[in-house]
Amino acid sequence: MARALFISVVFWLALVMPATAGPLAGLIAAIPAIAALGSTAASLIGWGVTAALAIGASLLLAPKAQTPTPSDVSGVVKQDVPARWVHRGRRRVGGALLFAEVKAGNLHLLIANQHGRCEAFERTLLDGHEVVLDGLGLVTGIVGSGENPYPLYTIQVVTRPGTDDQTAVGELTGTFPELWTSDHRVRGTALTYIWQGYVDPENFSKVYPNRIIQVEQIGRFGQAYDPRDATTAWTQNIALLLGDYLTSADGMQIASGYINMPRLAAAADLCDEEVPIKGGSTIPRYNGGLSYSMDADPASIISRYLTAMDGRLTLLADGTVGIDAGAFSEPTVIFDDSCIIGYELRAGGDPASEANDIRAQFTFAGADYVAADADPWRDEADIAASGEAKTATLSLFEVEHHNHARRLMKLAAARALPAYQGSITTNLKGLEAWDQRFVRIRGTLYSLDHTFEVLNIALDPATMTVTLQVVSLAAAAYAFDAETEEGTAPTIPDDDDAATIGPPEGLTVTRSYRTVSSGVRAPVLEVAWDAPLRAYSTAQAQISVHGAGAWRDITLVRDANPPQAGLAESVSDGTEYDVRVRWRAPDTDWSTISTETAIGDPDAPDAPTAVAATPVGGGSVDILWLAPVSARYAGARIYGNDVDDFATADLLSDLPGAPSPNLQSHRLTGLAADTWYFWVTAVNGSGVESAEAGSGATTIT
């Protein structure tokens, strides 16, 4: 059906198009090739045949799915049916737990690092620290520390590269022959086996502070075909990695003949082009890596590749797909009043999407491939003129160098605050912009003479007009002075031993509560601290009654890796507590102690109503009030003064009580004969008072 539709459109266009329309002829020639790509691939290239035929950069404009962060792919997950992850370039990875058994006090783990081949496992990290392995995979120390916290023959790490001829892990077949045989080779999956040996109970928490070791690998993953020398090898070239995804069996499965190899070679050259970085060295222009789950939306994966190299995909006149990396080229196609039929251009950006403060996170290779914040790219002039910072945040986890991230941020800033954006409608000359990234528009409107980036092209066969979605983008957006524009990269920490790490900083303790039943609130203390740049092992947080020194551990909230928060639940209302935290493996010093009082119900109840004072003689008075009808009401306090000033009043009675709709009363005795003023406050279970409610002047006799 799809092929029939394409053929029908080709036939119809052939009837109505002028014989001399060269670009349109190429367009028609390409349509059968779209069908040959397959329906899924064709839709992802951004093509559709409706009332108008749209081509261009639709993938670049589509919303991106949530991008996996480095911590998303470096942890070890245990699921009945885990997602299969694919890594490309150099990545820091964990994986899915395939096997976990204990025998003779030793723990045996098998982790699937990725679906596909690992060219080389380069570095192994245990609990966030790179370790030294001997020829048998036994851990002999921590790199750079000169120490080995692991006793000899305690931990062994063995890997398999994910090749079709790999063998089963002998340590498993020998120990668990009834569970794991020589046929359990897990071919096509890169694996890490860990043997965590028995340790005496008194030393267990020191050797294994997290109980089960967190194992991560930094390695070179995957291969890609390079048309420049007709070889297939590991690479960090973003254009080649995208070409591999489009053609691989685990990707889009487009036949390689439909990829325009000269264009791919040119894009690969641009990605490998050395550009200067701050300090005098160079890096390739667009190199990096990418991790994705095989159940991820293919459009989002392609979009991530394109974002990392400021690239785009184009269906060319010969029916092949062109892969291009971002670079400015002086336009050869110029539109002026002789061919422009109409404008829908506005000066400035779209108010809904313009930004003058570009933020980004990237994968910082210099700090062992953890997520890091790039130096913000701010348009201080626009911030001052508009009176506000309008922030946009980029997820650039395919990018591994600060210079690379800042170049993409500069381009994003230029597109977020353009001089002009919108669309123009032209006659068929507009088709000359097909496969052109940049055009020049000259027109009487706005006295235009600007370079524009073409975002999309649509042909309306009924009117034989072409509409171009465009945004102004000058060559200056691609120019980059590393010394003045690269900004300040995140700090690379020193060797991660206890002396250089230091204790956690930024410890804060916040009073909170949880509702247990019938609206009753129980106190908790929320604890948080700053994360280090490196992914160190789990922190240890402890709590004690203030000054008692009876420390006990706090439950960690595992919404980050490592956890950066804890929750102390078994605390008493109104009691003051001390809290401290430290990093584990290696054990650092404890942080500065933070002190806070647990308050189960920090919100004041409603004030009493209908407060009245009735003298009964003999220096006595009955105080009456209506308490708020709430489960949080726990009593009342009565104050008195001989002047109408609550601030200087004395507390005369502190009364526990339960919520009731009935009028409540309490008799005060032994009062001096005088004019008195009385007030009543409501109190909740944590002793927090409401506003006062007064009775007015009362004469006591």
Domain match, 647 and 679 both: yes
Given a cut of 90, is residue 697 above it in pLDDT?
A: yes
Look at residues 221, 245, 270 and tell me which one is the last residue of a structural domain: 221
Look at residues 193, 221, 249 and tell me which one is the last residue of a structural domain: 221
Residue bearing the bigger pLDDT, 537 or 244 = 244
Q: What is d(CA 534, CA 144) in angstroms, rounded to the nearest whole number?
A: 15
Domain match, 580 and 649 both: no
Q: What is d(CA 139, CA 151) in angstroms, rounded to the nearest whole number?
A: 9
Domain match, 615 and 581 both: no
State the Cα angle at 440 between 435 and 443, rounded to 5°: 135
Domain match, 147 and 175 both: yes
pLDDT tens per residue across span 129-149: 889 999 999 998 888 776 677
Which pLDDT value is given to residue 10?
32
> Does a structural domain hold residue 359?
no
pTM exceeds 0.85 for this model: no
- Mean pLDDT in residue range 270-292: 95
Per the structure, the complete domain to which residue 103 belongs is given by 78-221
- Mean pLDDT in residue range 554-570: 70
Tally helices (H) and strands (E) across the chain.
Answer: 14, 44
Domain match, 546 and 667 both: no
- Whether the link from the prior residue into 562 is cis, omega within 30° of 0, is yes
Domain match, 171 and 124 both: yes
pLDDT tens per residue across span 91-137: 999 999 999 999 999 999 999 999 999 999 999 999 888 899 999 99
Domain match, 586 and 618 both: no
Mapping DSSP onto H, E and C, the string for 426-439 reads ECHHHHHHCCCCEE
pLDDT tens per residue across span 474-495: 999 999 999 999 999 998 755 5
pLDDT tens per residue across span 325-370: 999 999 999 999 999 999 999 888 778 788 999 999 999 998 899 9
Given a cut of 90, is residue 230 above it in pLDDT?
A: yes
Which pLDDT value is given to residue 75?
72
585-598: buried (b, 16+ CB within 10 Å) or exposed (e) per residue?
bbbbebbeebebbb
3-state DSSP assignment of residue 544: strand
Q: Name the range with the highest mean pLDDT among 61-65, 381-385, 526-530.
A: 381-385
Tell me how many domains the chain contains.
3
> Does a structural domain hold residue 38?
no
pLDDT band at 585 (very low <50, low <70, confident <90, very high): low
Domain match, 616 and 587 both: no
Lowest mean pLDDT among 431-445, 481-495, 600-614: 481-495
> Does a structural domain hold residue 460?
no
Domain match, 102 and 188 both: yes
pLDDT band at 531 (very low <50, low <70, confident <90, very high): confident
Which pLDDT value is given to residue 23?
42
Phi and psi based region of residue 301 (left: phi greater than 0; alpha: psi -120 to 50; beta: remaining) = alpha
- Sequence-distant (6+) residues with CB within 8 A of 193 are 108, 109, 110, 111, 156, 157, 158, 159, 160, 169, 171, 172
- Beta carbons within 10 angstroms of residue 282's beta carbon: 12
Domain match, 84 and 209 both: yes
Task: Give percent of the chain with pLDDT exceeding 90.
Answer: 61
Look at residues 548, 574, 597 and tell me which one is the last residue of a structural domain: 597
> Does a structural domain hold residue 183?
yes
Task: Give 99's DSSP letter.
Answer: E
Which residue, chain included where needed, has tokens 């990695």? 241
Which pLDDT value is given to residue 493?
59
Q: What is the dihedral of CA 558, 560, 562, 564, to 10 degrees?
A: -80
User: φ, ψ for residue 536 (rounded to 5)?
Assistant: -75, 170
Lowest mean pLDDT among 270-279, 441-450, 668-677: 441-450
Domain match, 103 and 207 both: yes
- Sequence-distant (6+) residues with CB within 8 A of 351 are none
> Does a structural domain hold residue 70?
no
Query: If we measure between CA atoms, which residue out of 503, 511, 517 comes closest to residue 568?
Result: 511
> Does a structural domain hold residue 360?
no
Distances 58 to 313, 438, 605 between C-alpha atoms, Å: 9, 16, 56
Give me the CATH number covering residue 552. 2.60.40.10
Given a cut of 50, is residue 5 above it in pLDDT?
A: no
> Does a structural domain hold residue 170?
yes
> Does a structural domain hold residue 105?
yes
Given a cut of 70, is residue 35 above it in pLDDT?
A: no
pLDDT tens per residue across span 507-522: 999 888 888 766 677 8
Domain match, 159 and 181 both: yes
